[in-house]
Structure 1
Amino acid sequence: MHAPLDSNAFSGIRARGIRAITLDLDDTLWPIWPTIERAERVLLQWLQTHAPATAQSLQTQTAVRAVRTEIVGLRPDLAHDLNGLRRESIRLALTRASDDPSLAETAFDVFFAERQRVELYEDALPALEFLAARWPLVALSNGTADVNVVGLGRFFHASISAHRVGVAKPDPRIFALAAQAAGVPAENVLHVGDDALLDARGAMDAGMHAVWLNRAGVDWAHGGASPSVTVASLAQLCQGLAEG
């Protein structure tokens, strides 16, 4: 069972002067794995028509993950570029199956278009409307979703993605870039995200305030100080900020 909302903790955050909010995307605004699995199915269907030998070689998740793992080892320069890793994984699979490797670009575009079709959590849109009306929002993601393509661009002042800036959460540099995009010091930024290490711990280490979105109600397991505020939903986040 989720803990009740701690209004005093939110009061403390507000008292320290929140002037902008950075917001994770995957598993914060929408569940990511159903999206990825659907995009991979669409990609496989495309390959069955245009590169059937490659499609045959990628029939199982084990095979798909094996190619991905190999590319991660071969291309350390793409460590923070999930788009690049996906594209080169497709290229490697095409090459191995003696299909045309130049198909990788179009195949990736097929995957990427489907990856942008997300299904928001029920509380996401009301939360975005509430937050964007009060603070500049900056999307801060290690993933490859584009808030403009997804249809949420109107809520965001800016968007910072690991594959574009070359560093990923929890690296303090990506949080610093998000604060710069918001135009405020890090100590006046509140970061909200679902990942205890990448989001909550990373934001605190970067000098930001953090709210951990813990939908599953799991224990904090990362040592050091835990976030001053943990919420079970974005609705609870908005409630706390409204009352804080």
Structure 2
Amino acid sequence: MNPQVRAITLDLDDTLWPFAPIGARVEVVQHAWLAEHCPRTAARFPLAEMRVLREAINAEHPHLAHDFSTLRRLTLARAMELAGDDPALAEPAFQAFYAERNRVECYPDAIGALQRIAARLPVAAITNGNADLARIGLREHFAFQLGASEHGAAKPDPGIFRAACERLGEAPHHVLHVGDDIELDVLGAHRAGLRTCWIHRDDLHPDPVWPHAHVRPDLAFPTLDALADWLDAHLQDDVA
């Protein structure tokens, strides 16, 4: 790949930290909050039933598919209404969920690699999720964070990638998008005209075989620090 990379866009979930442990915890924490503050809701909607309700709310609001936070608030309010609790408690219930959602444990290499990359190039976060870098404590390493809820459409829509490039002040072909998801990150960024880097961590891609013949990522690494090493080796002349 031509190393003329001037900026990085970076996925968050499953690129900087694994999402599965978060996804498992947040439902339990939310239910415990409901059991304490909205016991009728907790009794009527244990974990499995709350998931069913959330799927129904999602189906009712396809125009909000990019906005996980709003959909969860709507689900909580509906559950409370149906159970006879005060739907005004949906917001504090959401905040209990959201605090846990932002309690992340980064991959061992991630923070050091992020620091190295951000010292060399501007980095912008592009995420379909609702993580908050300021709450997590990583905001200082990013030029900005662009979420699907803010943009109005989720990856792999090319618009979210192009919007990030515009905010970075760089043409798409000078921006490298880095992420774990083949469709959302690599193919989506490729369609938008960005360079691409596939991070195929062992926990998600134990046998990292690229499945598409028509397009390949410009770069592929098992860790983020391997990308940082590549940037150090190939962009050193630009920094000197």
* TM-score (norm. length: structure 1): 0.90
Q: Deviations over 1:200-232 (max 9, x none)?
A: 101111000000001123322355212122111
Residue aligning to 1:137: 123
**Distance of 1:24 and 1:46 partners within structure 2:** 30
Runs of 4+ in 1 over 4 A off after TM superposition: none
Instruction: Show CA shifts across 1:85-123 (max 9, x none).
Output: 111111121122222212111111111111111111101
Q: For 1:122-201, what aligned pairs fall within 5 Å after superposition?
A: 122-201=108-187
- In structure 2, C-alpha distance between the alignment counterparts of 1:154 and 1:167, rounded to whole Å: 25
Distance 1:223 1:65 in 2: 37
Query: Structure 1 residues 223 and 72 mapped into 2: Cα distance closer, same or farther (>3 Å)?
Result: farther
Q: Deviations over 1:9-49 (max 9, x none)?
A: xxx241xx110000000110011121122222111111001
* Partner residue, 2:237: none
Give the secondary structure class of the aligned counterpart of 1:160.
strand
TM-score normalised by structure 2 residue count: 0.92
CA distance in 2, matches of 1:69, 1:218: 31
Secondary structure of 1:26's aligned partner: coil
- C-alpha distance in 2, partners of 1:148/1:222? 36
**Which blocks of at least 5 consecutive residues in structure 1 are unaligned?**
1-11
Question: CA distance change for structure 1 residues 64 and 224 in 2, over 3 Å: closer, same or farther?
Answer: farther
8 A Cα contact 1:211 1:227, kept in partner: yes
Identify the match of residue 102 of structure 1 among 65, 88, 109: 88
Aligned mates of 2:210, 2:55 — CA distance in 1: 29
In the alignment, structure 1 residue 66 sits paired with structure 2 residue 52: yes
Which amino acid letter does the alignment assign opposite residue 240 of structure 1? W
Instruction: Report what 2:37 is aligned to.
Output: 50
User: C-alpha offsets along residues 102-147 of structure 1, whole Å, 9 cap, x if unaligned?
Assistant: 2111111111111111111101111111100000000000000111
Q: Distance in 1 between matches of 2:93 and 2:104?
A: 19
User: Equivalents in 2 of 1:198, 1:30: separation in Å?
Assistant: 17
How many pairs are equivalent? Answer: 230
Q: Which amino acid aligns with 1:35?
A: I
Q: Which moved more, 1:47-56 or 1:190-199?
A: 47-56
Aligned pair partner of 1:228 in 218, 221, 224: 218
Match of 1:9 in 2: none
Q: Which runs of 5+ in 2 are unaligned?
A: 235-240
Of 21, 24, 31 in structure 2, the residue corresponding to residue 37 of structure 1 is 24
Q: Deviations over 1:135-191 (max 9, x none)?
A: 000000000011111100110011100011101100010001110121111110000
CA distance in 2, matches of 1:64, 1:161: 25
Q: Residue 5 of structure 2: which of 6, 13, 18 is its match?
A: 18
- How many angstroms apart in 2 are the aligned matches of 1:67 and 1:131? 42
